[in-house]
């Protein structure tokens, strides 16, 4: 427990040091310097930018979900296509067998050999022919039943394929709508930032760090970690954390799953995949994983943020997470309480 307090304190001091060493903070320059382009305080501009990126994050989740569904439906259509090919080949074989039987019947004067023997005056041939006739009738009945069943299967395959195509098209439209929304939100946020001067951009970053520091400090002060059980990471959890740590400094790109860039859930899903456990792709789907209390969380657990579950990070211990924040930022370490926590989930519960 003492080690954890030292770790949490170290993280808090790290955040504070970053803020205090940032240019302009000790020079008396106000954080809320007015933005002449917008007529708003710089802090309000920061909030507007964060809101836009959060909305882009929500749309990114919708895009990723639709993309995953598209891949699933595409795979099902390919599977159905293979079944159709196999069914058609089976029907061809059955028709060939039926044709062979018909040709044999024609050559024997319209009666199959079994029927001819059944009509024989020789008692032995009659009994033998009757048996063959019954066998032939059963074979013909089985052949027709199998042909009908295979044709019925093909009709069902056609219906299934049509349904999957409809779902595929619906997901494509969802992807396009989400992509458009993502691009619009990111463009709007970038335009807001582009109107700021270099000094204002530097102060904007300071404001962002200050907001995170205040939130983390308030979270720690609330006693969120005082009752922490200090559970050790599992082997899989350790591998997931190691993977995430290896991605520090790589850029955020929406929809990316590595290895050169990531979005928030792309990072967490790949981290756990590297640990040998596949988990859902989006933060909203990751929210469905088994939940644990904050006091019981351990390294490797995922922390889901905001009411709409639009962001996720991987807990690394000592009150810190590694996450891919937003466009324009890189994979980084941050305070676990620097954003509103919705839930903590455990991929290897």
Active site residues: 264, 311, 323
Q: Say if strands 34-35 and 40-41 run parallel, antiparallel, or are unpaired.
A: antiparallel
Q: Give me the torsion for CA of 60, 281, 323, 291, rounded to 10°.
A: 120
- Check if the beta carbon of residue 332 is closer than 8 Å to that of residue 256: no
- Check if the beta carbon of residue 69 is closer than 8 Å to that of residue 171: yes
Max intra-chain CA distance, the chain: 122
Quote the Cα angle for 198-200-203, to 5°. Answer: 115
Could you tell me which residues are beta bridge partners of residue 304?
A: 312, 343
> What does the H/E/C string look like for the chain?
CHHHHHHHHHHHHHHHHHHHHCCCCCCCCCCCCEECCCCEEHHHHHHHHHHHHHHHHHHHHHHHHHHHHHHHHHHHHHHHHHHHHHHHHHHHHHHHHHHHHHHHHHHCCCCCHHHHHHCCCCHHHHHHHHHHHHHHHHHHHHHHHHHHHHHHHHHHHHHHHHHHHHHHHHHHHHHHHHHHHHHHHHHHHHHHHHCCCHHHHHHHHHHHHHHHHHHHHHHHHCCCCCCCCCCCCCHHHHHHHHHHHCCCCCEECCCCECCCCECHHHHHHHHHHHCCCCCCCCHHHHCCCCEECHHHCCCCCEEEECCCCCEEEEEEECCEEEECCCCCCECEEEECCCCCEEEEECCCC
């Amino acid at each position: 427990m003492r080690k954890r307090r030292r770790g949490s304190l170290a993280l808090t001091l790290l955040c504070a040091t970053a803020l205090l060493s940032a240019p302009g903070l000790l020079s008396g320059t106000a954080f809320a310097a007015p933005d002449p382009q917008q007529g708003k305080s710089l802090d309000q501009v920061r909030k507007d930018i964060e809101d836009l990126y959060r909305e882009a994050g929500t749309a990114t989740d919708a895009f990723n979900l639709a993309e995953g569904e598209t891949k699933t439906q595409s795979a099902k259509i390919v599977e159905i296509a293979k079944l159709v090919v196999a069914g058609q080949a089976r029907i061809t074989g059955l028709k060939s067998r039926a044709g062979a039987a018909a040709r044999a019947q024609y050559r024997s004067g319209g009666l199959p050999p079994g029927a001819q023997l059944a009509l024989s005056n020789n008692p032995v041939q009659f009994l033998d022919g009757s048996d063959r006739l019954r066998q032939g009738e059963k074979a013909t009945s089985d052949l027709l039943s199998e042909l009908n069943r295979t044709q019925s299967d093909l009709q069902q395959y056609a219906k299934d394929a049509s349904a999957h195509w409809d779902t595929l098209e619906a997901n494509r439209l969802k992807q396009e709508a989400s992509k458009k929304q993502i691009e619009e939100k990111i463009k709007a946020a970038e335009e807001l930032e582009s109107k700021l001067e270099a000094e204002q951009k530097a102060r904007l970053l300071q404001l962002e760090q200050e907001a995170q520091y205040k939130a983390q400090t308030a979270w720690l002060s609330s006693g969120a970690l005082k009752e922490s059980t200090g559970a050790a990471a599992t082997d899989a959890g350790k591998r997931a954390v190691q993977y995430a740590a290896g991605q520090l400094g790589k850029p955020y790109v929406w929809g990316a799953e590595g290895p050169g860039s990531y979005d928030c859930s792309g990072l967490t899903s790949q981290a756990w995949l590297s640990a040998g456990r596949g988990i859902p792709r989006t933060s909203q789907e990751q929210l469905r994983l088994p939940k644990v209390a904050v006091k019981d969380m351990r390294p490797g657990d995922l922390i889901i943020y905001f009411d709409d579950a639009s962001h996720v990070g991987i807990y690394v211990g000592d009150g810190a997470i590694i996450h891919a924040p937003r466009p324009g930022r890189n994979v980084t370490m941050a305070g676990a309480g620097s954003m509103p926590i919705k839930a903590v989930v455990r991929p290897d519960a």
